[in-house]
Amino acid sequence: MCRLLLNNIQSSLHPIISIKQNKIMNTPRVTQINRPKLVLPNGADKLLLHSCCAPCSGEVMEALLASEIDYTIYFYNPNIHPLKEYEIRKNENIKFAEQHGVPFIDADYDVDNWFERAKGMEYEPERGIRCSMCFDMRFERTALYAHEHGFPVISSSLGISRWKDMNQINDCGHRAAAKYPNIAYWDFNWRKGGGSARMIEISKREHFYQQEYCGCAYSLRDTNAWRREKGREPIKIGVKYYGDDDE
């Protein structure tokens, strides 16, 4: 349980994987569509974007770059299980950020702390109190890092997925940001204006890894139970990628 001690380590120790500036505005990697001009709340000049994975972040990242918003990715997702799945999702996210010249903060895995906080919620349903705990935990660390490193606004790619409850996510984001007088949570609806469709488009274009469950051990357990009921094989980690079915 030594990872519990990592809660006391200042987030300033998190390594910055990519420190290049955003220079993607004139490259063909930004999908050529008419996106609205995005503006950060309160006239802020930069954003700390919590990223859950590359597929959910692809459209969000390219939309921000198209609007010339200065932002940094913060990857803190101790819910993802097992380690193999975590590393696939994280490394793919790092690669995509590097391709776009976006700074990437690789935060602590902190998995033991996540399981400790999830005690008593092991059989709660998706979108229930366990998910709120999970969002709270991730936003708390994102807001802390933003506070310590001068980011006035935080947001997340979590809300672009239609599998998630956007109100639940935004409530957790606002709650975390409210702990710091200098931090605002940006609850922009990344799904609107075709955002969800472009998320799939970019995932296929980049041939992203296609995760088949939310990420946590209990989601994996419940998804595999459902698959057994339907006569389907259990999930195989690291096998399925976007675009495979189109070939």
Known binding-site residues for [4Fe-4S] cluster equal 52-53, 131, 134
* Cis, peptide link before residue 82, omega less than 30° from 0: yes
Binding residues: 52-53, 131, 134
Instruction: Please count the CA atoms within 13 angstroms of the CA of 98 that sit on its side-chain side.
Output: 10
**What does the alpha-carbon distance between residue 50 and residue 180 come to, in Å, rounded to a whole number?**
17
State how far the Cα of 213 lies from the Cα of 239, in Å rounded to an integer.
Answer: 13
Cα–Cα distance list, 81 to 24, 35, 146 (Å): 32, 35, 26
How many Cβ atoms are within 10 Å of 52's Cβ, its own excluded?
25
Tokens read off for 136:
């709270």
Query: What is the phi-psi region of residue 234: left when phi exceeds 0, alpha when psi lies from -120 to 50, beta otherwise?
Result: beta
Tokens of 25: 């505005």
Give me the amino acid identity at 139.
Answer: F
The answer to whether residues 58 and 199 touch, using CB atoms and an 8 Å cutoff, is yes
CB count, 10 Å around CB of 212? Answer: 17
Q: Which H or E run includes 49?
A: strand 47-50
Both tokens of 81, joined, read 């299980």
